[in-house]
Structure 1
Amino acid sequence: MNFSEVFKQTNQLCKVSPDGNYLATCVQYRLVVRDVNTLQILQLYTCLDQVSHMEWSSDSLFILCAMYKRGLVQVWSLEQPDWHCKIDEGSIGLVASRWSPDGRHILNTTEFTLRITVWSLCNKSVSYIKYPKACQKGMDFSTDGRYMALAERRDCKDYISIFVCDDWHLLRHFETETQDLAGVEWSPNGCALAVWDSCLEYKMLLYSLDGRLLSTYSAYEWALGIKSVTWCPTSQFLAIGSYDEKVRILNHITWKKLIELEHPATIANSKAVVYREVENKPVIGAEDLSIHNITMGSSLFNTQSKYEIAQLPVQLPVVRPDPDRANPKIGISAVAFSTDNRYLATKNDSMAQCVWLWDMQKLSLQAVLEHTAPVRCFVWDPRRSRLALCTGNNKLYLWSPAGCVAVKVAVKGDIQVQSLFWHCSGESLILLGKDQMCVCYMATDEKIG
C-alpha cells in the first residue's frame, strides 16, 4: 500500500463525492475540491465563515457548506464555479443542515428544533415542517430516496410523520408507543421502520410504511437499554447494541430475537482467534512460537503483521465506569455489518481497546482484535469483507478472514489517525487526523465481483 502526501483539513470535514471522482476538504473558511486520483486542486471556494458541516449532493454536482454560528448555508456548483447560493436563516438560528435525496432540496433545522425549513434550489420555494423532535436520530430517508421519516413531539407525545420527498406532502402521521423516542431508521429495502426509545427504557418498535405496528421488542426492564442500532444490508437482521454489553439480532420474518451475542472479559473454550497488538516487540527467534509474524500471500495484505495471536484463555482489558458520572463508558456503542452481510463488527465501551468480529453464517465469534489504545473508528470495505480501524496513533489496522495487519502510516510528518473512511471503490482509504488528512492506496490485484 502507498500513502499520499499530507493535506490540511479542519474539523475532519473531508468527503468523497458519491460518484467517487472528487475529494472535498474544508480548511477554515475555504472549500477545496480535488481530483480523487491525482489529488490536484480543481476548484477553490471561499465561504463567509468557518465551515461547521459540509456535504455532497447525491449527484455530485453541488456541495453544501453550513456555518451554524452564523445561521448560514452556502451551496457551490462544480459545473458552474461562478454560481452559488446563500441561505440565511436569520435570528431563528441553525443547528443542522442536510441534502434531500434528490440533491435539489436542503433541509435546515433551526435552533431549539422549532422547525425544519425545506429550501428548493429549482424554484426557490420554501416549505416548513413543524414539531421536529430533538433526539439522537430524528430524521431518516429511505434508501430509494422516496420517503422521509421524521420524529415529532406534540402535546408531550411522540409521533412519526412520513413525507413523500417529491413534493413534501404528508403521507402518514401516527403516534408511537415510546416514552421518549431516541431514533428512527429505515430498513435498506424500505419495508420497515425501526423506532427506539431513549436509553432509560428498553423498547424497539417496528412499523410498516403505512404506520402499522409490526412488532415490539424489549429485552429487559429497569436498566439502561438501547445504545446502538443498525440494519444489515439485506434487511434480514436488525442488530441492537445495549448497555448490558450484549448485541441482540432480530430476524425480519417474526421480528423475534435470533441470537444474543455476549462480550465476556475472558475468552476461553472458543474457536475465535484473538489478535493482540504488539508495539516494537522484537522477535527473538523462530523458536518463539508465541509470536506469529504473519505475512499474507493475498494481495490484500502485503505488509508484515504487528499482531500476536494470543493463546486461550485470554483476559481482555476492562475499564469499569464511574457510576457518579453521566454517559457511562459501558455497553455496545458501535455495530456494523460487512457489505456482503457475512460479518458483524462490534465495540463494547468497557473494553474500548477491542473490536469483536462475528460470523453471521455460523452465528459465532470469529475474532477479537485487542489494541494498546481505545479504538476510535472502524469501517467496512464497501466491496470486500475487510475492516479498517484506527486508535488515534500513526497506524492503520486492517482485518479480513485471512488475518490482520498493523501498518504504520508512512508520510512526511506525523499524522495521528482519529477517523477514516473508504472510497466507494474500496481501493483507497481516507485517513483523518486532528487537522490533517492523507489517502492510503490499497495495492490489490483482486477483481471485485
Structure 2
Amino acid sequence: MNFSELFRQSLQLCKFSPDGKYLASGVDYRLVIRDVETLQIQQLYSCLDAIQYIEWSGDSQFVLCGMFKRGLVQVWSLEIPEWHCKIDEGSAGLSAATWSPDGRHVLTTADFHLRVTVWSLVTKSVSYIRYPKQCSKGIDFSVGGKYMALAERRDCQDHISIFSCQSWSLVKHFESETDDLAGLQWSPDSRVLCVWDSCLTYRVLLYSLDGRCLARYSAYDLALGVKTLAWSPSSQFLAIGSYDEKLRLLNHVTWKTIATLPHPEVIDSKNVVVYKETETRTPNPPSKKSLSAPTASLFAGQSKYEVQTCPVQVPVSKPALNKANPKLGVGSVQFSHDNKYMFTKNDNMPCVLWVWDVRRVSLCAVLIQTNPIKFVSWDPSRPRLALCTSNNKLYMWSSEGSLSVEVPVEGSFLIHSLSWHPDGDAVLLVGKDQMCVCFLSPSQANASAAHNTSTINSTGDNKPLTISNDNSSNNNTNNSVIVKGSSDILGLPDEARTEVRDMEEGED
C-alpha cells in the first residue's frame, strides 16, 4: 500500500470519475479535477458560490456542481473547458440535482418537492414533472439507463410513473398499494421494481414494468418494519433488513423467504471466524503542542486483529426507544460484486460487521471493532471490503483474512468515509476537510502520486470561466449554455403526460 499526501476538500465532496481517470473534489467554491495516477491538477473551475454537491456524468465528460442555497447548478466539461452551463431554478428553489443515465440531461428537484425538472444540455429544452413524493429514494434509474421510476403523491395516495429516458415520455402510470411509500429500486436486470412502505408498516411490493403487482411480502405486523433493502447483483435475491434485528432473503421465483439471518449477542459456531481489533496502549505524550509529527507518531496506539475462540460475546448498545429513528435493527446490507458474499450491520451493535457466505446462506466472518463503524464498502472488482471507524486507520477484509493499516501522514487525519476506485486498485479516504488516496496496485502506486506536492493554490493560468449566452448555439454542446427556470410550467397533466418545449433564453 502507498498513501498520497493530504489534499484539501470541503463537505466530503470527493468522487472518482466512472472511467477511473480523474478525481473530483470541491474546495469551497472551487472544483478541482486531478489525474488519478499522478494526482496532479488537470482542471480548476470557479463556481458562483460554495459547492454543496458534485456528481460525475455517466461518461465522465461532465461534472455537476450543486449550489442549493442559491438554487443554482453549474455543469463543467473536461474535454472542452470553454464549454459551461448554468441552471437556475428561480423562485422554486433547489433541493437536489442528479444526472440522467445518458449524461446529457440534468434532473433537479425543487424545494418542498414541488416538481422535478428535466433540463437538456443539447437542445436547451425543459420539461416539468409534478407531484414527486418526498421520500428516502423517490427516483431510480434502471441498469442500462432505459427507464426511470418516479414515486408520486396525488390526492393522498401513492402513485408510480415509469418514463423512458430516451424520449422522456410516459411508459406506465399506476397506483401503489403502499400507505406511505418510503422508496423504490429497480432490480439489476431491470425486470422488477421493488417498492417498500414506511417503517410503520411492514410491506414490500414487487411490480413488473407494465404495473402488475408480482408479489407482496410482509414478515410481521404491529411493529417497526423495513429499514433497508438491497438486490443481489444477479437479481436472484432480495435482502430486507428489519427493525427486529434480522435479515431476510427472498428468492426471485416465488418471492418467498429462503433464509432468515439473525444477529445474536453471542456467536457460538465453529464455522465462523471472529476478528477482534485490539489496540496497544502507549504512554501519554508530555505535551502535544511541543511534539513534532515524527515524535507524536511514537505515542500513537497501534491496532491489529486477533482471531477469537467461540463463543464470543458481541458488544451491544441499548437504543433510545423514546426517540425517533432508534438505532435498532439491520440498517446496512450490501452484496459483493460477484454475489459470493454479503455484509450486514446491526445498528444497535455499532462496532460489529457481519459477513455472510451467500452460496451457503450462513455466517462466515465477524469483525469486532474498537470504535463504531462509520462506513463500509465492497471492492467493485474483487470480493474484499474496506471500512473505517473515524480514526486514522483503514481496515480491510477478504476471505484470506483481515488487516488494519494506519495512514502514514503528518498531523491528525480521521477517516469518516471512503470510496473505491472503479478498478479496485485504490481507495479514496475522506476526512473532515482533507482526503488522501491509498494505492493498492503496485502499477498505480508510483512515486509521483505518493509524493505529490501540488496544491489547489497553484492555479497557474486557470481562470474563472465567464458564463455567456450564444443564441446561435442552440444545438451545439461546444458552447456555453444558460438555462433559467423562467418558462411557464408545462407540467404533467392528470393523464400523466409530459411535454417538452424550447426554453426561454434570459440574460445572466
Q: TM-score, normalised on structure 2?
A: 0.82
Q: CA deviation at 1:268?
A: 1.2
Contact 1:22 1:34 (8 Å CA) reproduced = yes
Q: Is 1:143 paired with 2:143?
A: yes
Look up the match of 2:162: 162
Moved runs in structure 1, 4+ residues, more than 6 A? none
Q: Which of 343, 346, 359 pairs up with 1:345?
A: 343
Look up the match of 1:334: 332
Look up the match of 2:235: 235
In structure 2, the residue corresponding to 1:91 is in which secondary structure?
A: helix
Q: Is 1:19 paired with 2:7?
A: no
Look up the match of 1:103: 103
Letter in 2 for 1:146: K
Q: Is 1:310 paired with 2:308?
A: yes
Contact 2:277 2:303 (8 Å CA) reproduced = no
How is 1:22-421 mapped onto 2 (pairs within 5 angstroms)? 22-280=22-280, 306-421=304-419
Cα separation, 2, equivalents of 1:269 and 1:16 = 40
Look up the match of 2:498: none
Letter in 2 for 1:361: R
In structure 2, the residue corresponding to 1:306 is in which secondary structure?
A: strand
Cα separation, 1, equivalents of 2:260 and 2:4 = 42
Contact 1:305 1:404 (8 Å CA) reproduced = no
Contact 1:330 1:348 (8 Å CA) reproduced = yes
Q: CA deviation at 1:80?
A: 1.5
Contact 1:305 1:405 (8 Å CA) reproduced = no
The size of the alignment, in residue pairs, is: 424
In structure 2, the residue corresponding to 1:244 is in which secondary structure?
A: coil
Cα separation, 2, equivalents of 1:357 and 1:58 = 31
1:197-248 deviation per Cα after TM superposition (whole angstroms, max 9, x unaligned) = 0000000000011111010000000000001011011111110011000100
Q: CA deviation at 1:412?
A: 2.5
In structure 1, the residue corresponding to 2:348 is in which secondary structure?
A: helix
1:82-129 deviation per Cα after TM superposition (whole angstroms, max 9, x unaligned) = 221111111110000000000000000000100000000010000001
Cα separation, 2, equivalents of 1:305 and 1:441 = 21
Letter in 1 for 2:101: P
Cα separation, 2, equivalents of 1:412 and 1:319 = 34
Look up the match of 1:431: 429
Cα separation, 2, equivalents of 1:306 and 1:318 = 21
Q: CA deviation at 1:281?
A: 6.0
Cα separation, 1, equivalents of 2:281 and 2:349 = 23
Cα separation, 1, equivalents of 2:441 and 2:186 = 35
In structure 2, the residue corresponding to 1:351 is in which secondary structure?
A: coil
Q: Are the structure 2 counterparts of residues 389 and 425 from structure 1 closer, same or farther at C-alpha, using a change threshold of 3 Å? A: same
1:38-77 deviation per Cα after TM superposition (whole angstroms, max 9, x unaligned) = 0000000000111111001111111100100000000011
Q: CA deviation at 1:413?
A: 2.4
Cα separation, 2, equivalents of 1:54 and 1:48 = 14
Cα separation, 2, equivalents of 1:146 and 1:443 = 35
Contact 1:150 1:160 (8 Å CA) reproduced = yes
Q: CA deviation at 1:435?
A: 0.6
**Which one has a bigger Cα radius of gyration?**
2
Contact 2:204 2:216 (8 Å CA) reproduced = yes
Unaligned runs of 5+ in 2: 283-301, 444-508
Cα separation, 2, equivalents of 1:444 and 1:136 = 40
In structure 2, the residue corresponding to 1:339 is in which secondary structure?
A: coil
Cα separation, 2, equivalents of 1:233 and 1:344 = 11
In structure 2, the residue corresponding to 1:399 is in which secondary structure?
A: strand
In structure 1, the residue corresponding to 2:112 is in which secondary structure?
A: helix
Q: CA deviation at 1:320?
A: 1.1
1:279-318 deviation per Cα after TM superposition (whole angstroms, max 9, x unaligned) = 1169xxxxxxxxxxxxxxxxxxxxx981011111111110
In structure 2, the residue corresponding to 1:85 is in which secondary structure?
A: strand
1:141-176 deviation per Cα after TM superposition (whole angstroms, max 9, x unaligned) = 000100000000000000110000011100000111
Q: Are the structure 2 counterparts of residues 137 and 166 from structure 1 closer, same or farther at C-alpha, using a change threshold of 3 Å? A: same
In structure 2, the residue corresponding to 1:248 is in which secondary structure?
A: strand
Cα separation, 2, equivalents of 1:185 and 1:417 = 30
Q: CA deviation at 1:270?
A: 4.2
In structure 2, the residue corresponding to 1:278 is in which secondary structure?
A: strand
The one of the two structures with greater contact order (alpha-carbon pairs below 8 A, sep at least 6) is 2
Cα separation, 2, equivalents of 1:136 and 1:152 = 13
Unaligned runs of 5+ in 1: 283-303
Letter in 2 for 1:373: N
Q: CA deviation at 1:414?
A: 2.1
Contact 2:280 2:303 (8 Å CA) reproduced = no
Look up the match of 2:452: none
Contact 2:278 2:303 (8 Å CA) reproduced = no
In structure 1, the residue corresponding to 2:255 is in which secondary structure?
A: coil
1:379-407 deviation per Cα after TM superposition (whole angstroms, max 9, x unaligned) = 00011110100000000000000010011
